[in-house]
Structure 1
Amino acid sequence: MAYLEIADLKKSFGANQVVKAFDLGVERGEFVSLLGPSGCGKTTVLRMVAGFETPSSGSIRMDGQEVARLPPNQRNVGMVFQAYALFPNMTVAENIGFGLKIAKRPQASIAKRVGQMLEMIKLPHIADRYPFQLSGGQQQRVAIARALAVEPKILLLDEPLSALDAKIRVSLREEIRALQKELGITTLFVTHDQEEALSMSDRIVVMSEGRMEQVGTPFEIYNFPRTRFVASFVGTLNLLKGRILDAGSGRLLVADQEIGVAGGFPGRSTGEEATLALRPEGIRLCDGTGDANRLNGVIEDVGFHGPIVRIRVRCQDTVISLDSFNSPSSQLPERGAAATVAFPRDVLVLADA
């Protein structure tokens, strides 16, 4: 049995069902992200695990104990909120030690644990400061230390990085992941940021409209999406719509040009329409020779993003985005110029689900 076992969890507010039959097992020490757009139900799942929302039905077991109807203070979880939720009238040390004080730990024990937490987050010099004297990144580190001070069974993180600027966000997510690995604490992380989920997680749960769309490793979620929603939500995606010329051999007509798909179209018939998904990094500009699939078109746009150059090529009604690495020694392609894009047969994924 998994360390955290969530079975057939449902939640409704009136007639609105916001979580629909959620099932998930999280192993001890695993880092699992709930990823999806706003309103998909991911934070509601987290709040039910924490005890701040009561499930309409279903089971939540932590380390073998049923906790779905227990109050938050009897679940031994640590939660970090998006807005930090530090007490403004308490020092950093008092904030970190608050849960221990509520648990009536001896003062000496609290002081020792607070010192350990400050060392762990690499901020031992700010113990006597107040939250308003800290940067956003420092406040979030303190919030994490406060959640971990009580030695929770599970750490719950509700979009803890969304209020920070980009550079601090990248740095702090690396710190959170390193800390989680060091402590070996089971962690549920809620985010709408696909890059955060892909870079931090052991597994990802992609959610949409209260449903679980797919559960898998970051590699599986990105490279082998099982539904069209997952394919379009996680990463940038090209959708190539065409007509099947030969289902067995995988020949397809796109923008009046023929391409091939590895493995063909099992269960489909010649003459049917099909939609294929293609990631930008699987495509390159070429001179029109070679064995890969090729489509001819015109450069519609060139976007410079520092290390990456994103190019859009129009092939009749189909627009294809591709990414290439920036090189100071090469010239950017010109808008309106003729171009040929090439991509292997095996990078195409059927996206009709």
Structure 2
Amino acid sequence: MTFLSLSHLEKSFGPTRVVKDFNLSVEQGEFISLLGPSGCGKTTVLRMVAGFETPTSGAIAIDGADMVRLRPNARNIGMVFQAYALFPNLTVAQNVGFGLKVKGTPAKEIAGRVEEMLDLIGLPDLGGRYPFQLSGGQQQRVALARALAPRPRVLLLDEPLSALDAKIRVSLRNEIRAIQRRLGITTIFVTHDQEEALSMSDRIVVMHQGVADQVGTPFEIYNTPATRFVAGFVGTLNTIEAEVKDGATGRVALAGTEVVLHRPMTGDRVTLGLRPEAVRLGQGSCELGLSGKITEVDFLGSVIRLRADLGGQSLAFDTFNAAHSVPPRVGETVVLGLNAADLMVIGA
């Protein structure tokens, strides 16, 4: 059942339409990520839900109640910002209890809730410290606790991990997801980091130029992209031009080798997409074996990313690092194996 509903949302700043006919239905307890590049409209959508921006048109409803006309403090929504936004003159405990104090909650109840929140974020003994005495990860945990303390119906997260280093980011995103699941709170998370979106979300909304290009599970977004933009933005994708031999059956010629895709297509040429992990070094049991010359070898630790030239077209592929196995060298000719089922026909 829909808990949070965004219907035909539009937002313009002067003549510029930043969000265009945005629609989303969110179930209670779902974790939704708005994913896209800078300027795609994802933060504007979040700010409209929070009440910091008024939609040019469209509706926002929580549990059936209209939110558009309500002030931000009347919506019972918690928000965590990218820059923490903690009060530097207040202790950790005072920051966490700030929203409750504004609501007029009795001091004893505030103290109990603050203790509960500090336990939840794993900082039970730091209530007396000030923000400048905390690390970036600890400050973001406090910002999360402050947003959750008043028991909001919806939690909004605006790129909360982007200012942290890589290891802390991974650790904290796992903690945020665990806390969200434990509380069962409906959450919208804004990010430009596809790894964050893929690892944390129940569903992802990929945004492009103010439009929701695709809404789906991480598996659907990654494996069956609906548009050329989604295919190129989410993950690494090879794009290969193929000659259409028989449009009715989907028979195409790829780097001189014919393959049947069993999908009708029009025109003389088609663009195909292929994920690097779908390519094998050596044909093995794969349907197709394509000859190519290695042009790049990048050692990435557990994975080695290679690139080969297939008669004028470049193809990136991955192989696992093995301590006693030497990867191909630049200039070496190899056979690459792939299967027709892994080839995507890239649309508009």
Structure 2 Cα separation of the partners of residues 289 and 115 of structure 1 = 59
Q: Which residue of 1 aligns with 2:287?
A: 292
Is it true that 1:329 corresponds to 2:324 in the alignment? yes
Q: What SS does the aligned partner of 2:225 have?
A: coil
Q: What SS does the aligned partner of 1:40 have?
A: coil
Q: What SS does the aligned partner of 2:347 have?
A: coil
Q: What SS does the aligned partner of 1:196 have?
A: helix
Equivalence map 1:173-184=2 (5 Å) = 173-184=173-184
Deviation at 1:291, TM superposition (A): 5.1
Aligned residues: 348
- Code of the aligned partner of 1:113: R
Query: 1:266 aligned to 245, 264, 288, which one?
Result: 264
Deviation at 1:250, TM superposition (A): 3.0
Is it true that 1:16 corresponds to 2:11 in the alignment? no
Post-superposition Cα deviations, 1:184-229, rounded to whole Å, max 9, x if no partner, equal 0000000000000000000000000000100000000000001000
Post-superposition Cα deviations, 1:126-177, rounded to whole Å, max 9, x if no partner, equal 1000000000000000000000000000000000000000000000000000
Task: Decide whether aligned partners of structure 1 residues 58 and 315 sit closer, same or farther in structure 2, where only a CA change above 3 A counts.
Answer: same
Structure 2 Cα separation of the partners of residues 234 and 49 of structure 1 = 25
Paired residues of 1:310 and 1:323 also in contact (CA < 8 A) = yes
Q: Which residue of 1 aligns with 2:60?
A: 60
Q: Which residue of 2 aligns with 1:281?
A: 277
Paired residues of 1:35 and 1:197 also in contact (CA < 8 A) = yes
Is it true that 1:151 corresponds to 2:146 in the alignment? no
Q: Which residue of 1 aligns with 2:69?
A: 69
Deviation at 1:94, TM superposition (A): 0.3
Task: Give the TM-score normalised by structure 1.
Answer: 0.97
Post-superposition Cα deviations, 1:242-261, rounded to whole Å, max 9, x if no partner, equal 21112344332233x12414
Deviation at 1:266, TM superposition (A): 1.3
Task: Decide whether aligned partners of structure 1 residues 261 and 75 sit closer, same or farther in structure 2, where only a CA change above 3 A counts.
Answer: farther
Is it true that 1:39 corresponds to 2:39 in the alignment? yes
Paired residues of 2:248 and 2:265 also in contact (CA < 8 A) = no
Q: What SS does the aligned partner of 2:318 have?
A: strand
Structure 1 Cα separation of the partners of residues 168 and 70 of structure 2 = 36
Structure 2 Cα separation of the partners of residues 289 and 323 of structure 1 = 16
Deviation at 1:110, TM superposition (A): 0.4
Q: Which runs of 5+ in 1 are unaligned?
A: none
Q: Which residue of 2 aligns with 1:49?
A: 49
Q: Which residue of 1 aligns with 2:81?
A: 81
Q: Which residue of 1 aligns with 2:106?
A: 106
Is it true that 1:171 corresponds to 2:167 in the alignment? no
Paired residues of 2:19 and 2:210 also in contact (CA < 8 A) = yes
Structure 2 Cα separation of the partners of residues 247 and 295 of structure 1 = 22
Paired residues of 1:298 and 1:336 also in contact (CA < 8 A) = yes
Paired residues of 2:50 and 2:72 also in contact (CA < 8 A) = yes
- Identity, % of aligned pairs? 59
Structure 2 Cα separation of the partners of residues 44 and 124 of structure 1 = 35
Post-superposition Cα deviations, 1:75-99, rounded to whole Å, max 9, x if no partner, equal 0000000000000000000000000
Deviation at 1:267, TM superposition (A): 4.2
Post-superposition Cα deviations, 1:228-278, rounded to whole Å, max 9, x if no partner, equal 0000000000001021112344332233x1241432x31425xx1100000
Paired residues of 1:261 and 1:348 also in contact (CA < 8 A) = no
- Code of the aligned partner of 1:284: R
Structure 2 Cα separation of the partners of residues 206 and 196 of structure 1 = 13
Q: Which residue of 2 aligns with 1:317?
A: 312
- Code of the aligned partner of 2:122: K
Post-superposition Cα deviations, 1:329-348, rounded to whole Å, max 9, x if no partner, equal 21121100011111111000
Structure 2 Cα separation of the partners of residues 261 and 101 of structure 1 = 66
Paired residues of 1:33 and 1:204 also in contact (CA < 8 A) = yes
Q: Which runs of 5+ in 2 are unaligned?
A: none
Paired residues of 2:79 and 2:147 also in contact (CA < 8 A) = yes
Structure 1 Cα separation of the partners of residues 260 and 304 of structure 2 = 27
Task: Decide whether aligned partners of structure 1 residues 289 and 195 sit closer, same or farther in structure 2, where only a CA change above 3 A counts.
Answer: closer
Task: Decide whether aligned partners of structure 1 residues 171 and 261 sit closer, same or farther in structure 2, where only a CA change above 3 A counts.
Answer: farther
Structure 2 Cα separation of the partners of residues 332 and 293 of structure 1 = 21
Q: Which residue of 1 aligns with 2:233?
A: 233
Task: Decide whether aligned partners of structure 1 residues 131 and 289 sit closer, same or farther in structure 2, where only a CA change above 3 A counts.
Answer: closer
Structure 1 Cα separation of the partners of residues 10 and 313 of structure 2 = 41
- Code of the aligned partner of 2:289: R
What RMSD in Å do the two structures reach over aligned CA positions?
A: 1.1
Q: What SS does the aligned partner of 1:124 have?
A: coil
Q: Which residue of 1 aligns with 2:299?
A: 304
- Code of the aligned partner of 1:280: P
Structure 2 Cα separation of the partners of residues 285 and 274 of structure 1 = 25
Deviation at 1:290, TM superposition (A): 5.1
Structure 2 Cα separation of the partners of residues 41 and 123 of structure 1 = 34
Q: Which residue of 2 aligns with 1:123?
A: 123
Is it true that 1:90 corresponds to 2:90 in the alignment? yes
- Code of the aligned partner of 2:81: F
Paired residues of 1:49 and 1:60 also in contact (CA < 8 A) = yes
Deviation at 1:295, TM superposition (A): 1.7
